[in-house]
Amino acid sequence: MSTDIHPFDSAVALTATGVPGQYQGQASKDYWNMVGPYGGITAGALVQAMLQHPLCLGDPLSITVNYAAAVGAGQFVIDAEPVRTNRSTQHWLLTVTQADAEGVMQVVTTATAVTAARRETWSATDTPMPAGPAADDVPRVPALVGAVEWLNRYEMRFVDGILSMKEDGAERDSLTRLWVRDNPPRPLDFASLAAVSDVFFPRVWLRRAKRVPAGTVSITVYFHAGREELAAAGDRPLLAQARGQEFRNGFFDQTAQLWSESGVMLASSHQIVYYKE
């Protein structure tokens, strides 16, 4: 791991190929999951591609990422196209392609996104940050030797809903709350906020106390914060909360929220996840 660049910045680093709106990246072993990079880092790279695009208007408002196949080791290509630009919003189509074993480029991820030029208006929250212990008062989960590598890229402090090491099949609530930030600490930005929105383990693992095969099919992240709120959050932990809603016929959905230490909701997300018995 380089000492000169944060592993997250290395993982989402993109180089323009010379084709308009096209960027090349490298799948990072620092964020490796079971069979490919952790899904959050792919979402982060897609946000990074939009923000690097010379025609980008404003900041990310939402992104929906559809994982058509696992991203493999090696290089990948992101095509980012702003398909419609209005006065205050811009709509995007994005794809991630990668060469297969025969060298043929295949689509592995698709995404749609919206960026926006925000303006100050009346604002309110109907989902305040839950009361609970401060981040510094919650023990940090130690490094997980032998676990998938991406878990070690985050500092995690569970308030409740930590995954039990005992797989007893006992059904329970799927709610998890934890304080989380990049490891080592890194100032928050839109790409890392997109990535950390996918930091939760599959809700079905907690709900059933059984680690069945599971994987995200599609995730949507809604960015409620602008640059000022991200700067105020700095490199301090975020309170992240996730809960499953419906588990049925091999798929479940999960809703999540992330707040800064000062209680500002920075992002919310929703995803649909595949699971097997």
Tell me how far apart the alpha carbons of residues 230 and 78 are, in angstroms, rounded to a whole number: 25
For the chain, 277 residues long, give each residue's pLDDT as a single digit of tens. 445 899 999 999 999 999 999 999 999 999 999 889 999 999 999 999 999 999 999 999 999 999 999 899 999 999 999 999 999 999 999 999 999 888 899 999 999 999 999 999 999 999 999 999 999 999 999 877 667 899 999 999 999 999 887 888 778 899 999 999 999 999 999 999 999 999 999 999 999 989 999 999 999 999 999 999 999 999 999 999 999 999 999 999 999 999 999 999 999 999 999 999 8
Asked if 95 contacts 80 with a C-beta cutoff of 8 angstroms, the reply is: no
Q: What is the pTM of this model?
A: 0.95
Domain extent listing, the chain:
7-118+133-275
Q: Which residues contact 3 (CB under 8 A, 6 or more apart)?
A: none
Instruction: Kindly state the DSSP code that residue 35 receives in the 8-state scheme.
Output: S
Kindly report the CATH class assigned to 7-118+133-275. mainly beta
With contact defined as beta carbons under 8 Å apart, do 196 and 247 qualify?
Answer: no
How many angstroms separate the CA atoms of 56 and 113, rounded?
A: 12
